[in-house]
């Protein structure tokens, strides 16, 4: 294989690695933000349930206290009936007793509702606390790993850039100029392997004579259709 072409393949691999490293500088912080958001969302939901549970417990205590007061008042009214002397007083007392009984019925219903609500919140809270703990532990481990990747990206980029400089020095100016031009114009790979006797990028079929020239690898051959540099590999016949 032509020396420049062999070095260009290595250079292309280095450029791919550099591209991935540069992209990681953008997507890794986004990944960390998503992990942090998941932790924050779970904490907020946990906090909301705790607040709702506390509110329901306070209301339950207030309902129970009101129920006790109403029941005490009802007992007193029932005792007063023993001393009633006129029908007017009796009717008024019966009306008051009926109102108290209605209030007690409503309070008892609400008390039962609150018991169910509290039990539901307690069950949800137990499951969410376990889930929140798992999420925080798992996400923190992932964030620590991602942070390590961020910390190492700079040194990796520096190492790859140095490797690139070394390769570029050994490639002819004509070949590197063509490589950079194709890379800028086409994006992605500038050097592609022949696949099933066609260009591996645009899939344009190659004439037999051109195939032989690529196989020999003595000169740099470009695709007449897309302009990319062509190489023959072990998989080119497949």
Whether 84 has a pLDDT exceeding 90, the answer reads: no
CB atoms near residue 71 (< 10 Å): 16
Nearest Cα to 20, choosing from 164, 153, 163?
153
Give me the domains of the chain, ranges plus CATH numbers: 25-152 (1.10.287.1490), 175-231 (no CATH)
Q: pLDDT digit string (tens) for 172-218? A: 999 999 999 999 998 889 999 999 899 999 999 999 999 999 998 88
Tell me how far apart the alpha carbons of residues 16 and 9 are, in angstroms, rounded to a whole number. 11
CB atoms near residue 21 (< 10 Å): 19
Tell me how far apart the alpha carbons of residues 183 and 189 are, in angstroms, rounded to a whole number. 7
Tell me how far apart the alpha carbons of residues 15 and 7 are, in angstroms, rounded to a whole number. 12
Q: pLDDT digit string (tens) for 94-140? A: 999 999 999 999 999 999 999 999 999 999 999 999 999 999 999 99
pLDDT top residue among 81 and 42: 42
Tell me how far apart the alpha carbons of residues 163 and 177 are, in angstroms, rounded to a whole number. 18
Nearest Cα to 150, choosing from 21, 56, 17?
21
């Amino acid at each position: 294989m032509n020396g420049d072409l062999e070095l260009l393949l290595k250079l292309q691999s280095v450029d791919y690695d550099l591209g991935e490293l540069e992209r990681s500088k953008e997507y890794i912080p986004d990944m960390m933000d998503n992990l942090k958001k998941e932790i924050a969302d779970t904490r907020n939901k946990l906090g909301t349930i705790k607040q709702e549970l506390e509110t329901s417990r306070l209301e339950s205590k207030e309902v129970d206290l009101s129920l006790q007061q109403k029941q005490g008042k009802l007992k007193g009214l029932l005792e007063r009936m023993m001393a009633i002397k006129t029908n007017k007083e009796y009717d008024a007392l019966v009306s008051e007793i009926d109102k108290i009984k209605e209030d007690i019925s409503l309070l008892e219903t609400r008390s039962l509702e609150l018991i169910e609500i509290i039990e539901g919140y307690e069950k949800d809270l137990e499951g969410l606390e376990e889930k929140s703990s798992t999420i925080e532990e798992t996400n923190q481990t992932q964030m620590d790993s991602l942070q390590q990747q961020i910390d190492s990206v700079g040194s990796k980029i520096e190492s790859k850039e140095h490797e690139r400089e070394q390769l570029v020095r050994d490639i002819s100016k004509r070949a590197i100029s063509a490589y950079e031009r194709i890379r800028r114009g086409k994006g992605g790979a500038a050097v592609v392997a022949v696949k099933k006797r066609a260009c591996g990028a645009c899939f344009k079929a190659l004439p037999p004579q051109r195939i032989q020239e690529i196989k020999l690898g003595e000169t740099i051959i470009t695709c007449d259709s897309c302009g990319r540099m062509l190489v023959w590999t072990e998989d080119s016949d497949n």
